[in-house]
Amino acid sequence: MSSRVHPTAIVDPAAELGEYVEVGPYSIVEAEVRIGGGTQIGPFCRFQGPTTIGTGNRFMSHCSIGVQPQDLKFKGGPTRLEIGDNNFFREFVTLHRGTPGGGGVTRLGSHGLYMVGTHIAHDCQIGDHVIFANNGTLAGHVHVGDHATIGALSAVHQFCFVGEYAFIGGGTIATKDCLPFMKTVGSRPARCFGPNSIGLERKGFSPERREAIKSAWRLLHSGKLTTREALERLESELANAPDAMRILQFVRASERGVILARG
């Protein structure tokens, strides 16, 4: 079976459609766009290249994919958007290409759910199995780890990192890095409320892994320790706990600082 393109859709001859791709009414697929097999595109979507899309993705309607970045410094250039496999993009999702100064590529992983109004700006790097709730927004150059959740109406500042399995609550304004495995909630300033225990349990984390993460959090949040002292104790006392070491690595690698304050 070849691809199915609705009579009202426009597909540039220079675009590449894989097997079983469906393009819905009034959608536009421009040149330099490659769409993997089994992908479904609903009505009124626009795809601009260079963009590469994996297999089994689904775009509901009114999505704007691969358009140029919202960066006044952008004057054109060989930038692109790359999307993995089996993602679900709901209505009015916007995904922008990279910029020459930011590495040139915006990259999304696989098995993600991007709800209504999600915006991914230029040069962002998104992992696998993520969830973006309605109107979750990333500024440019943001990194989001695997299994992270971005709550509705939340925004992440440019150049920030969101760690794997992090949970950002609805309405959060994150201007610093968000710790992996933790719940971060609030606007100006956002606050970290410790491990996302229920979410981690649902993801299959053992009691031992969850307890190690809690121990790391207790050290980091201790009012009796400086951050440096907390990290030193974390490294000494939890050296055999890979998740705790990941938290240690995340904090030490942060350039913007991490959100730790708790309400």
CA distances from 142 to 64, 107, 122, 182, 201 (A): 19, 11, 9, 18, 27
Q: Choose which CATH entry (2.160.10.10, 3.40.30.10, 2.60.40.290, 3.40.718.10) describes domain 4-141.
A: 2.160.10.10
CA distances from 240 to 145, 203, 213 (A): 22, 21, 12
Give the number of other Cβ atoms within 10 Å of residue 91's Cβ.
Answer: 17
The string of pLDDT tens digits covering residues 195-253 is: 999 999 999 999 999 999 999 999 998 889 999 999 999 999 999 999 999 999 999 99
| Closest listed residue to residue 52, CA positions, set 105, 116, 9 | 105
Instruction: Please report, for the chain, the start and end positions of each structural domain, with discontinuous segments joined by +.
Output: 4-141, 201-253
Phi then psi for 41, rounded to 5 degrees? -120, 120
d(CA 168, CA 232): 27
Strands (E), 8-130: 10-11, 16-17, 22-23, 28-29, 33-35, 40-41, 46-47, 51-53, 58-59, 64-67, 80-83, 88-89, 94-96, 105-108, 113-114, 119-120, 125-126
Whether residue 69 contacts residue 51, with contact meaning beta carbons closer than 8 Å, is answered with no
Single pTM value for the model: 0.93
| Closest listed residue to residue 109, CA positions, set 49, 150, 57 | 57
The string of pLDDT tens digits covering residues 9-55 is: 999 999 999 999 999 999 999 999 999 999 999 999 999 989 999 99
d(CA 87, CA 220): 35
The model's confidence at residue 263, banded by pLDDT at 50, 70 and 90, is: very low
Residue range 62-70: mean pLDDT, rounded? 96
pLDDT above 90 as % of the chain: 89
pLDDT at position 262, please? 52
d(CA 101, CA 159): 13
Q: Choose which CATH entry (1.20.1180, 3.40.470, 1.20.120, 2.60.40) describes domain 201-253.
A: 1.20.1180
Return the bridge partners of 82, or none: 52, 107
Annotated active-site positions, please? 122-123, 140
